[in-house]
């Protein structure tokens, strides 16, 4: 009997499995998951959010949140990755340049003291440049107020593969 108990105690050590826990510090994020057949989105609005990836579970910071989700239920992940400042500057710069050329043409037509051809050659580039600079500045300022979330929604149905994808995404956005 003692031999059986000793065997059971020592064999449990041989077959023990350890769950590895991966810890990531992430910026603001949103997780969309399947709950009772519906997609539900949870937001983590803090500047630094700790997420733990275990064997088949994603856990939010246990000190702040009561959040756990099976990795298989995650449908979409959105992580804050800057803002729309440069994109806004580019788009509004192009729009401003187009409006600048238009306004330059109108200016030359309305106030053409010198020949229209010469006025257009001088005024159009000046208004174009002014439009690009003004539009780019306004677009950059407005765009910097809009946060940009990088979204991930193409996940494998296999939980192990999804776990590896989540680890790669979290490693990319890790704040440490």
pLDDT tens for the chain, 176 residues: list them: 655 455 545 554 444 455 688 999 999 999 999 888 899 999 988 888 999 998 889 999 888 888 999 998 999 999 998 888 988 899 999 999 888 888 877 777 777 655 566 666 777 788 888 889 998 999 999 999 999 888 998 888 888 888 898 999 999 998 87
- Do 92 and 52 touch, CB atoms closer than 8 A? no
pLDDT score, position 31: 92
Residue bearing tokens 């500045």: 137
HEC assignment per residue over 34-67: EECCEEEEEEECCCCEEEEECCCEEEECCCCCCC
- Do 170 and 24 touch, CB atoms closer than 8 A? yes
pLDDT score, position 69: 92
pLDDT score, position 110: 77
| Cα(47)–Cα(80) distance, integer angstroms | 9
pLDDT score, position 104: 79
């Amino acid at each position: 009997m003692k031999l059986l108990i000793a065997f059971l105690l020592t064999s449990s050590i041989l077959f023990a499995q350890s769950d590895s826990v991966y810890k990531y510090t992430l910026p603001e994020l949103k997780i969309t998951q399947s709950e009772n057949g519906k997609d539900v989105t949870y937001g983590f609005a803090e500047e630094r959010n700790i997420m733990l990836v275990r064997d088949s579970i994603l856990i939010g910071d246990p000190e702040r949140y009561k959040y756990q989700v099976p990795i298989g239920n995650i449908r979409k992940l959105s992580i804050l990755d800057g803002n729309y400042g440069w994109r806004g500057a580019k788009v509004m710069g192009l729009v401003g340049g187009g409006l600048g050329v238009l306004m330059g043409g109108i200016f030359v037509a309305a106030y053409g003291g010198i020949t229209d051809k010469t006025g257009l050659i001088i005024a159009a580039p000046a208004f174009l440049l002014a439009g690009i600079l003004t539009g780019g500045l306004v677009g950059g300022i407005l765009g910097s107020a809009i946060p940009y979330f990088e979204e991930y929604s193409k996940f494998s149905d296999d939980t192990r593969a999804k776990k590896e994808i989540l680890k790669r995404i979290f490693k990319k956005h890790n704040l440490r």
